[in-house]
Amino acid sequence: MKRLYIIYTLIILIALVMANTVNAQYTGYSWSTAYQVVNMGTAPANIIINYYDSSGNVISAAQKTYTNVPIGGSRLVVQFTDDPNLPSGRYSAVISADQPIAAIANQQLVPVGASSYTPNPPFSTYSGQSEGGNSIILPSIMYNWYGYYTDVYIMNVGTTNANDVDITFTPGEIGGVPTGASGVTDLNNTIAQYASIEKSQKNMSALGAPSGIYNGRFMGSATITADQPIIAIVNQHNENAYKLMTYNGFTNGSNDIAVPSYMRNYFGYYTTMMIGNPSNTLTAKVTITYTPTGDYNTVSSGIVGPVTVEYEIPPMASLTRYDGPSASDDQSDLDDDPIYTRFYGSVRITSDNPVVVQVNVEALASGDDQAGSYNGIPVSSATQDIVVPVILSKYYGYYTTLVVQNVTNNEGTCDITYTSDGTYSQVKNHSATYTHTLPASGAFTVYEGNKGAAQGDINRDPTNWGVGTRFIGAATIHCTVNAVAFVNEESDVSRRDSMYTFNTFNK
């Protein structure tokens, strides 16, 4: 008998008629989702998808089935066009299969009354999860934080209804100054099995710091506890800037975490990194090492090379490292010695007690104006084999940037095998493999974009993919050393947060 594998993914489908605070700012639009499921197994997969409403009722008429999905192959589901039997609303989904699978979900806006699928920014992405926990850690929670606030979606993946779901908020600190109020909680929530609830911080004025430089603002973390296993995702909104960044909550921390991509003034791109200490009692002593990658790193003082710093993070608190255009000396580690005027590379965080890491990637409004988010990856989960659910090249203006990070001190190589889908790609159901060198403790980037000379695997290979190179599909990566990876998916056209950013899956 084959084992049944299940992943859970929160599907956010918020219709305008709900008059929800999340979409109130985007007049004339409603939220829609699209998700991609990839077969990570060793045989063709049969996949079943069920949707659940906020009361935990399954929408039987909307069940989806995909048979014989090839090894390494994927299926794209666009709610707007592919789920006519799913009424407008917000749902969660359970995706099951007879082979190991992975999935990522995209969120975007669609004009109300549109007759065709015309997604509009802001966009964001998060990963499906295969299991939950009774305690979830959210390292980045915001209220009135320079235009940003957060929404938390919590799904019950247990065996029965959850009758006691509690949220505790903890402010962070910058330069020793608390960034919010202490002691704020949201207790005694209930969630039906397989249902999800939304908890928005948009109007939680109690979170704002009562005085000081951050008066009326909150940037910190939260912990969710429940009497059933749960999962959570967090949306980070800046409605005025039309920016949206989404990340998965953490079920536990790690003592050694890899961050594949970190940027400072990198052609208008920059990074914010939040490190959360989930312990109730123990201070976390963390070491952060920034390692530059490639030829684009520049300094105004010193020489290009790794930067290592140390911090202590109090119990239940978070540390923010920010390298945007307004970064102060207290916020950045790359402006001391050496002083980086441009940085592109990877980061390694080690700690004496487990921590969690969440990363925001943004671009200047005067430039690409993008925004995305992904989770730091525990080094203990690194393997030689990685699955990437979505790769794009010239896909209606979209492309992906894949970053692979070496978590060992040995140089290696990685073979990337791309498999196109059977519907949208110019060359359908086709596979091709490319080899890359992976530097010791470093990373390499595969860029399928259109700016400058072609640097990708697909967009430089018309023999396999044809002229025009419209590609959507999945990729599998096999390295000779343990590695991790993440993906940016974006378009150059809109100049407004058209970026989806997501973690990949180690096998």
* 376 token code pair: 């730091």
Provide the β-strand partners of residue 416: 434, 477
pLDDT over 90 at 30, yes or no? no
CA–CA gap between residue 389 and residue 444 (Å, rounded): 19
* 54 token code pair: 């906020």
The pLDDT of residue 100: 87
Among 279-288, 364-373, 482-491, 494-503, the minimum mean pLDDT is found in: 494-503
Indicate the CATH number of 382-506 among 3.40.47.10, 2.60.290.11, 3.40.50.450, 2.40.128.720: 2.60.290.11
CA–CA gap between residue 221 and residue 278 (Å, rounded): 9
Q: For domain 5-127, say whether CATH 1.10.3470 is its number.
A: no
Cβ(291)–Cβ(359) under 8 Å? no
- Assign 10 a pLDDT band (cuts: 50, 70, 90): very low
pLDDT over 60 at 204, yes or no? yes
- 301 phi, psi to nearest 5 deg: -155, 140
Torsion over CA of 131, 135, 141 and 143, rounded to 10 degrees? 120
Cβ(151)–Cβ(223) under 8 Å? no
Helix (H, G, I), strand (E, B) or coil at 291: strand
Helix (H, G, I), strand (E, B) or coil at 464: helix
Helix (H, G, I), strand (E, B) or coil at 80: helix
Sole residue written with tokens 């791109």: 269
The pLDDT of residue 15: 21
* 205 token code pair: 């004025």
Provide the β-strand partners of residue 81: none
Work out the number of other CB atoms within 10 angstroms of the CB of residue 60.
9
Work out the number of other CB atoms within 10 angstroms of the CB of residue 466.
14
Q: Are strands 339-363 and 284-292 parallel, antiparallel or unpaired?
A: antiparallel
Stretch 482-486: mean pLDDT: 96
- The whole-model pTM stands at 0.88
CA atoms within 13 A on the CB side of 366: 4
pLDDT digits (tens, 9 = 90+) for 77-123: 988 899 999 898 888 888 888 888 888 888 888 888 888 888 888 88
- Assign 479 a pLDDT band (cuts: 50, 70, 90): very high
CA–CA gap between residue 181 and residue 171 (Å, rounded): 6
Cβ(231)–Cβ(132) under 8 Å? yes
Q: For domain 254-380, say whether CATH 3.40.47.10 is its number.
A: no
CA–CA gap between residue 70 and residue 506 (Å, rounded): 19
CA–CA gap between residue 126 and residue 372 (Å, rounded): 10
Work out the number of other CB atoms within 10 angstroms of the CB of residue 246.
30
Helix locations, 209-266, DSSP H: none
CA–CA gap between residue 347 and residue 316 (Å, rounded): 22
Domain coordinates in residue numbering, the chain: 5-127, 133-248, 254-380, 382-506
Sole residue written with tokens 């605070």: 21
* 91 token code pair: 């749902």
> Terminal CA-to-CA distance of the chain, rounded, Å?
22
- 81 phi, psi to nearest 5 deg: -110, -30
Work out the number of other CB atoms within 10 angstroms of the CB of residue 131.
11
Indicate the CATH number of 133-248 among 2.60.290, 2.30.30, 2.60.40, 1.10.405: 2.60.290
Helix (H, G, I), strand (E, B) or coil at 18: helix
Sole residue written with tokens 């606030």: 149
**Rg (alpha carbons) of the chain, rounded to whole number:** 22
Average pLDDT, the chain: 89
Q: What type of residue is 478?
A: H
- Assign 25 a pLDDT band (cuts: 50, 70, 90): low
pLDDT digits (tens, 9 = 90+) for 44-65: 999 999 999 999 999 999 999 9
Mark 142-163 as b/e (b = at least 16 C-beta within 10 Å).
bbbbeebbbbbbbbbbbeeebe
How far is Cα of residue 303 from the mean position of the Cα atoms in its chain?
32
Query: Is there a shared CATH topology between the 133-248 domain and the 382-506 domain?
Result: yes
CA–CA gap between residue 68 and residue 46 (Å, rounded): 6
pLDDT over 50 at 224, yes or no? yes
Stretch 122-149: mean pLDDT: 91
Spatial neighbors of 244 by CB under 8 A, at least 6 apart, are: 107, 121, 122, 123, 124, 235, 236, 237, 238, 371, 497
